[in-house]
Structure 1
Amino acid sequence: LSEIDGIDIVRKLKSNQIIIVVVTNSYDRITEAIGINVAGYIIKNQIDIEFKKIIKEILEYVDINKNIMITTK
């Protein structure tokens, strides 16, 4: 995405009905994402370790009866 970055998309999509996890290598972007109140973040080089953990945490947080859609870019 050359005209808009992930954090800008998060700002536009943020609502109580969307759970957003940011995947990045930039600690500055993590700080920015936390400021937007995202559900979590994963450092790209640790995605194999952290992905299952964060998904488990999110599933424990949400009502099991709600539909959950996982998308990737």
Structure 2
Amino acid sequence: MITEDVLTNRLCATRSGPDVIPTTIQSDTAMRTVAVSDKPREVNRFSRMFDAMASNALPPRDTPKFLNQLVREIAE
């Protein structure tokens, strides 16, 4: 499930509306390194990644079923 304010897959992009391109991005790594950039090239790159991730996300109503399936698979 992805909302407009999201911190998922170590990518944070906050938007004010569906057609608004963020002007700043924040990237977090597993080692707790944080990078913030306002460079247009980086913002565009992360915006494309965010849009690809959001377009492939399950709708909220399907998320619990998917998580339960993962739990079953891990438990096997």
Give the TM-score, by structure 1 length: 0.30
Which has the larger share of strand? 2
Which has the larger share of helix? 1
Larger radius of gyration: 2
Give the TM-score, by structure 2 length: 0.29
